[in-house]
Amino acid sequence: MFDELSEKLEATFARLRGRGVLTPADIKEGLREVRRVLLEADVNFQLTREFLERVEKAAAGVTALKAVSPAQQLVKIVYDELVAMLGERQEGLKLSSVPPTVVMLVGLQGSGKTTTAAKLARKLAGEGRPTRLVAADVYRPAAIDQLETLGTQLGVPVTADRGTNDVVRIAKQGIDQSRKARERVTIIDTAGRLQIDDEMMRELERLKDAVHPDEILFVADGMTGQEAVRIAQGFDEKLGVTGVILTKMDGDARGGAALSIYGVLKKPIKYIGVGEKTDALEDFYPDRMAGRILQMGDVLTLVEKAQSAFDEDEARKLEKKVRKEGLDLQDFLTAMRQMQKLGPLEGILKMLPGVNAKMLRQANVDPKRIKHLEAIVLSMTPDERKNPGILNGSRRARIAKGAGRPISEVNRLLEQFRDMQKMMKKVGGMRGGGIPRGMMGLR
């Protein structure tokens, strides 16, 4: 989402870095460019003005320090102010001391509430908090079916009652079932509308008064910019929203909603949706997001993804096997499958410091690359995977045909694999054989 914003900010700071010494006039010129970039990203005008006033004030003495270049000092000031604009610190779900914690999801139709409810349930269950979903969207066709299907896929119980439109009754029934089942969280998926209307708000107010939710989370479509902020204000005035979930953050949008919504509402962004799959919901960290925007990377999130995605038992078995017998293509396939659990390669690379969308375009990163490699290895016989040295021309032609890939890709894979074998032998020799602990996903 922030690719365009990141590129423009980086271009501005690159020009400043090129000047070496910054004068007050240079800083003013740079901040004018930052202002233009933020407004083009659909960031709230008032927030942009206040943001730049704070940056300019903090940058007043930016030329005084000699240990760090003035341009880098300015980047650090902008980073700090971006963190403040995004919410300063991460805030998780407020859990009730007496379970179940009741969470109401509210928002307009099409914002992704139902899918987000399932994503949040999966996330909480994975953290050891058994969760129940409540289908309180009784108006949208197939909304109940959708939630039940998602619940079945995730192994999460769903409370639904097709015999009534009384959402208060359905919600209370779900909370009672959670209490009896000793579940930690109850998520209520409420009905959305195409626009805010009085009838919709009255229903949500009745529901709030009846169940006293611990959290009322506004689900905002991150691709709608300032419109999402305006709608969030309407919900907050009527319901007292406690937090925000931004969806579709993997989409091609300018990012104005993400940069504006905390500053306008003063309610924390708690989660962001970064894909369509049910595991594509992340905790929101203002400092990490600011780092991504300014191309400082987000190594902490990458490490956390690796820790949650890799199967440590499988990785230990693989390490033991490779230490004893060396690396073969079956091991390579296992490692690739572990890598795929981290998500798209482009998304992983963007978390590394200094990597931006422009660099990825120039590098021609193909998101299907790992799938192609997997197809090539799967087209080999077990004996060929174990002994790639036997792969002569005719075998390579057969493998290429079976994988539906050109023979040049088969040759390139085998060449890269030989390089990897040499590297592991060299590193292993330094440590007494095998592969270094920490590879293949081991911490």
pLDDT tens readout for residues 348-375: 665 565 555 555 555 455 667 778 888 9
Q: According to the model, what pLDDT value does residue 309 have?
A: 58
5-36 core/surface letters (b: 16 or more CB in 10 A; e: else): bbbbbbebbeebeeeeebeeebbeebbebbbe
The domain 3-86 having CATH identifier 1.20.120.140: the answer here is yes
* pTM of the entire predicted model: 0.70
- Can you list the residues of the chain whose pLDDT is less than 50? 65-67, 363, 430-443
Helix (H) or strand (E) holding 105: strand 101-106
Q: According to the model, what pLDDT value does residue 219 have?
A: 94
363 CB-side CA count, 13 A: 14
Q: According to the model, what pLDDT value does residue 443 have?
A: 34
Q: According to the model, what pLDDT value does residue 118 have?
A: 96
101-293 and 305-440 have identical folds: no
Residue ranges of the domains in the chain? 3-86, 101-293, 305-440
DSSP 181: T
Q: According to the model, what pLDDT value does residue 148 have?
A: 95
Most distant CA pair in the chain: distance in Å? 73
Cβ neighbours around 179 below 10 Å, total: 14
**Architecture of the domain spanning 101-293:** 3-Layer(aba) Sandwich (3.40)
Q: According to the model, what pLDDT value does residue 243 have?
A: 95
Alpha-carbon torsion, ordered 298, 303, 308, 313, to 10 deg: 160
Asked if residues 246 and 89 have their Cβ atoms less than 8 Å apart, the reply is: no
Asked if residues 5 and 57 have their Cβ atoms less than 8 Å apart, the reply is: no
**Architecture of the domain spanning 305-440:** Orthogonal Bundle (1.10)
Q: CB within 8 A of 336, min separation 6: which ones?
A: 370, 373, 374, 377
194-218 core/surface letters (b: 16 or more CB in 10 A; e: else): eeeeeebbebbeebbeebebbbbbb
User: Each residue of 17-57: pLDDT tens digit?
Assistant: 776 666 778 788 888 888 888 888 888 888 999 999 988 88
* Amino acid at position 395, single letter: R
- Comparing CA positions, the residue from 354, 221, 256, 244 lying closest to residue 4 is 256
Q: According to the model, what pLDDT value does residue 31 have?
A: 86
How is residue 161 written in tokens?
A: 């009652």
Q: According to the model, what pLDDT value does residue 14 have?
A: 79
380-403 core/surface letters (b: 16 or more CB in 10 A; e: else): beeebbeebeebeeeebebbbeeb
d(CA 139, CA 241): 22
